[in-house]
Amino acid sequence: MISLAEPTTGFSGLVRQYKRLTSEIVDSLSLKGDVLQLAPTKNAFRSGMDPGRTYLVKGGMLGVSCQNRKLFTYDEGDLILPDVAGDDVDGIIYFADSPTLLVGYDTLELARTLLADDGMARQWTRLLMTLQGIMMRLLASQVEEETHTTPGFAYFQPGDVIIRQGDRAEYVFSLFEGTADVLVDDVEVGQVSEGEVLGALAVLTHAPRSATVRARERCSVVKVPKDQFKTLIRSNPTMIHGLLKDMARQIINLNNQVVELTGQEPSQV
């Protein structure tokens, strides 16, 4: 098994152990496997691989990708357990850049054979535990250090100020529980509720806080430092959609407040 990122400590040793355990198990098997010769392919499931079978790589290499991101590569001596989702339903793709030789075993029949013998069952359990360790280290190698965040939690009682108008924006807040009032120049202009993100606009524009947010009831919030929030946005673009929805909702609320104060009809944008 080959990591496409810089492998973490212990990865190489676990891979050697995985191959050794695989070899010992396969050599002790009474099952006959089916040979599958793969030509270069962008999707091995569509070229003969069966999601109900467990495969041993006898020659060549088989890459794994998810959502168009290459993760790692199986090479000779690796055992490929089937993905729980089966085919590429969840974006898991097996691909071969060059001819690859596999031997496939019916997964259910393989499990029955291994678990019927205490010694082989122990070997199989060790193999699964080793694979778990490998996958954890592969995950660690894929996660960029700068995307880690260290959010904190804060709690506010009714009447407590969560954000104060005019202050520098050092944090973005996610309202985890409760509701709060939004005030501009001590005039209530709206409310925010569970699930909304507070203070993102000031952080993104480097401007002072434009409003005060005061707890209407007991509130729980998650605090993310501004630098880590910007990194989180870059690494998780789907958050932008949620932020835009929150901001749009707040603008609509403010617009309705203005309409009520002026008695004019709301404008449509």
* Residue 28 lies inside a defined structural domain of this protein: yes
Q: Where are the beta strands (DSSP E) in the chain?
A: 2-3, 34-38, 53-59, 62-66, 69-74, 79-80, 92-95, 100-106, 152-156, 161-163, 171-177, 180-184, 187-192, 197-198, 212-215, 219-225
SS3 30: coil
Residues 84 and 14 in one domain: yes
* Residue 147 lies inside a defined structural domain of this protein: no
The per-residue pLDDT for range 192-228, each reduced to its tens digit, is 888 788 888 788 788 899 899 999 999 988 788 877 7
Neighbours of 234 (CB within 10 A): 12
Please determine, for residue 148, whether its predicted confidence score (pLDDT) is greater than 70.
Answer: no
**Bridge partners, residue 180, by sequence:** 192, 215
Neighbours of 210 (CB within 10 A): 15
Residues 137 and 7 in one domain: yes
* Number of domains, the chain: 2
Model's pTM, two decimal places? 0.52
Burial (Cβ within 10 Å: 0-12, 13-18, ≥19) of residue 56: buried
* Residue 63 lies inside a defined structural domain of this protein: yes
Question: Distance between CA 195 and CA 86 in Å, rounded?
Answer: 34
* Residue 164 lies inside a defined structural domain of this protein: yes
Q: What pLDDT score does 143 carry?
A: 57
Domain that holds residue 124: 2-142
* Residue 269 lies inside a defined structural domain of this protein: no
* Residue 77 lies inside a defined structural domain of this protein: yes
Residues 23 and 136 in one domain: yes
* Residue 267 lies inside a defined structural domain of this protein: no
Average pLDDT over residues 74-90: 73
* Residue 61 lies inside a defined structural domain of this protein: yes
The per-residue pLDDT for range 21-58, each reduced to its tens digit, is 999 999 998 888 999 999 999 998 888 898 889 999 99
Residues 91 and 199 in one domain: no
Residues 120 and 52 in one domain: yes
Residues 164 and 209 in one domain: yes
189, two tokens = 């202009």
Boundary-marking domain end, from 142, 177, 209:
142
CATH number, domain of 245, equals 2.60.120.10
Q: Chain-centre distance of CA 78, in angstroms?
A: 25
